[in-house]
Structure 1
Amino acid sequence: MTTAVHAPVENRALLALVGRTPLARITTDLAGPHPGFWAKLEGLGPGGMKARPAVAMLLGARERGELLPGAPVLESTSGTLGIGLAFAGQALGHPVTLVVDTELEPSMRKLLRAYGTRLEFVDRPTRQGGWQAARLARLRELLHRTPGAYWPDQYGNPDSVAGYASLASELTGRLDRIDILVCSVGTGGHSAGIAGPLRRRLPGLRLVGVDATGSTIFGPPARPRLMRGLGSSIRPRNVVREAFDEVHWVGPAEAVDACRRLASGNFVSGGWSTGAVALVSAWAARTHPEAVVVTVFPDGPERYLGTVYDDGYTAAHGLGEPVRHPVEVPYPAMEAGGWTRCRVVTDPRVPRPASTAAVITG
């Protein structure tokens, strides 16, 4: 399924809109009371959080001659990067084609088309790699038959990581001290892109990763995932595993509960990634009450009105009572059935002890 659009005219004045998003103090109860943490509200910026890496990737490709003026840009996305690339394509004058899947919300389809992107759909996941692998396979087909097209490759492009340097700078411009940074992990770009610059100024910074149950990024096998925007069915090259001090896996029931509590108690909220990082940030603030805890809310709630904020949807998917505390596992390759924490982060390509092959539920 495709939609024809007109080629955009370059409008570099849009680039001045990127960044300078608000920093909010979050104090509402999330799995219990906590002393509060800071959240960068990237969803309030034009193009959302992914506008930063999208612009950086296209500008970098232009400078190296990999992307010629007016040439098409093709990428795979579950939605959020698509908004960022739509923004970058308009700013720099490139038509954007996005390979998406039929799980993409109708509201997001309409929004992406309104922003001028062409959508190419895949209608079934692959047996290994799920929707993500299916989208990438279709993307390669499109690249083969589209001369001059550029693939940013959000999963491994170092320009994506570099694009978040401005976010790190904005945080240090507002906060004199940051002790714990909590980041959702999908492609790995924003955790690496924020933590790297911050640690050059704050070498004692602790980095806590937040993944989705069913994700394979840190070692467990890939399983079907309800949540979009965090987690992965592949292992992106931009994930710097040695940078993390610990990782948490969060389930959809916990993310939904956190999102709704944020909306009703702190007004600012978002989708799956926002709920997941908020839950873990509140936990970090509660367990380290003297620490300055900071996280990033990638987007707002509008995209998720038919999922996270819909009682019929949550009931249909069996999202019942959330767990209130993480189960701790000794090794990251152990499968997590609910909110789980591991203080050991290793390269999943290294063989794990046979005794760690259990499944943890809770």
Structure 2
Amino acid sequence: MILNKVTDLIGNTPVLSISIPAKHSKLLLKIEKNNPGGSIKDRMARNMVIAALKAGRLKPGGVVVESSSGNTGCGLAIAAIEFGLRFIAVVDHHAAQDKIAVMRALGAEIRYVEGNFREDEVAVVERQRLAAELASQIPGAVFMNQSDNAANAGGYSDFVREVIEEVGGVDAYVGCVGTGGSMTGIARGLKVHNPHTKTIAVEPAGSIVFGQPGHPYYQSGTGTPAGDTVGLVLDYSCIDLGVQVSDTQAFETARYIAQRTGLLVGGSTGGVIYKALEFIHSGLIGGNVVAAVADGGEKYLHTVYNESWLQERNLLDPQIWAQLDDWLSPDEIEDAQPTLLQRSAA
């Protein structure tokens, strides 16, 4: 298929199936890192821009401003190119440097927040404040405010359609939750198709989305840190269970999946896979269990996949590998070599 623009590459991502014979289940990974900006956020970033243009909030030749840890920013940078817009990304020290480099390569202007923040502290409150301030000062600028933007959740309707076409019946969906846009959009859509689909949202330990005490964490682009408020886009009513995963569980699982299957996934996706396997083996969920590979490990080679970096921060735990080996025994791994259920048309 010959396409006309890069944004035509968004969506129609493939699915990788890892069978778990002991539980008569499959963990179905939708490879969202195959989107042109490298993450699931490409879908909603473009949708937010289109919604703002249609509503007249954003004019041709205007300026998009957004607070981002990187993935939404990459998606907005691509959408800005498509529609002839200027894009300013407001970031902090917590964002992966490779993501910032990609945004710059795509023509985005990068603004760093100022302040003394811990290495594992997400400065999202200051990011949002600065983004709103810039948008108010620059003529023709719009602060996208993904946390409260209804077009965020609305950007995942194609994801749901694709999953249903690729997988058929979805018994459970496990996804990470940050602003809540992807979790809300996907959970709502799947429950319209099948109200019995179980939806599990995973946040980092230290995030406050589900009312637990807040503390710093290293997982990037997910969760809501202490001091921030949960975005209006998050709809708790479509989520059956909210759970937390530690940085160590998330990062060790990402590294395990890379070395056992050859698939590089981001840290937050490692956390989602860990919790999905845990709940499959506890019997809480089963059958066709879908999870999104929200982004790829290529963006975290200097952190999640750097053993020295992990060791310096006490984020290594061989017991997690032993646990994953137990959940995916050698016989099961041999039977579960990832199989493409559907290849991208592109």
TM-score w.r.t. the length of structure 1 is 0.81
Residue 108 of structure 1: how far off its partner (Å): 2.2
Q: Match of 2:49?
A: 58
Higher relative contact order (CA 8 A, sep 6+): 2
Residue of structure 2 in register with 1:295 after alignment: 291
1:5-44 equivalences under 5 Å are 13-27=5-19, 35-44=25-34
Tell me the residue number matched to 2:179. 187
State how far apart, in whole Å, the 2-side matches of 1:264 and 1:100 are.
31
Cα deviation code 1:317-349 (max 9, x no counterpart): 111326659xxxxxxxxxxxxxxxxxxxxxxxx
Deviations 1:114-163 (A, max 9, x none): 01100000132679x95001111211221221011011111011111111
Q: Do structure 1's residue 112 and structure 2's residue 108 form an aligned pair? A: no
What displacement does 1:247 show? Answer: 1.7
User: 1:253 and 2:248 equivalent?
Assistant: yes
| Matched pairs, number | 312
- Equivalent residue for 2:90, pick from 84, 96, 99: 99
Q: Could you list the per-position Cα deviations for residues 227-277 of structure 1 after superposition, in whole angstroms to 9, with x for gaps in the alignment?
A: 112111221111111222112201111011110111111222311111011
Q: In 1, distance between residues paired with 2:253 and 2:19?
A: 12
Whether contact under 8 Å (1:284, 1:293) holds in the other structure is no
Q: Is the 8 A contact 1:69 1:94 kept in 2?
A: yes
> Among 72, 77, 81, which residue is 2:72 paired with?
81
Deviation at 1:74, TM superposition (A): 0.2
Gaps of 5+ in 1: 1-10, 326-362
Instruction: Write out aligned runs for 1:259-278 (5 A).
Output: 259-278=254-273
Deviation >6 Å, runs of 4+:
none
Output the CA distance in 1 between the equivalents of 2:318 and 2:203: 16
- When residues 130 and 299 of structure 1 are mapped into structure 2, their CA distance, relative to the original with a 3 A threshold, is closer
What is the alpha-carbon distance in structure 1 between the residues aligned to residue 318 and residue 170 of structure 2?
A: 29
Q: Helix, strand or coil for the counterpart of 1:120?
A: strand
Indicate which of 114, 122, 133 corresponds to 1:141. 133
Partner amino acid, structure 2, of 1:13: K
Change (3 A) 1:93 1:316: same
Q: CA RMSD in A?
A: 2.4
1:46 aligns with 2:42: no
SS state at 2:148 partner: coil
List per-residue Cα deviations over 1:83-124 (Å, max 9, x = no partner). 111111111111110000123333222211001100000132
Code of the aligned partner of 1:248: V
SS at match of 1:247: strand
| Matching of residue 67 in structure 1 with residue 58 in structure 2 | yes
Give CA-to-partner distance per residue, 1:181-232, whole Å, 9 cap, x none: 1010001001111111111111101110100011011112332121112111
SS class of match (1:294): strand
- Residue 284 of structure 1, aligned match among 279, 284, 290: 279
Separation of aligned partners in 1, 2:164 and 2:319: 34
Tell me what 2:307 maps to: 311
TM-score by length of 2: 0.85
1:198-209 to 2 correspondence within 5 Å? Answer: 198-209=190-201
Which consecutive unaligned segments of at least 5 residues does structure 2 have? 322-346
Report the 3-state secondary structure (helix = DSSP H, G, I; strand = E; otherwise coil) of the residue aligned with 1:163.
Answer: helix
Q: Whole-Å Cα distance in 1 between the matches of residues 294 and 261 of structure 2?
A: 16
Task: Label 1:207 to 1:14 Cα distance change in 2 as closer, same or farther (>3 A).
Answer: same
Distance 2:290 2:305 in 1: 25
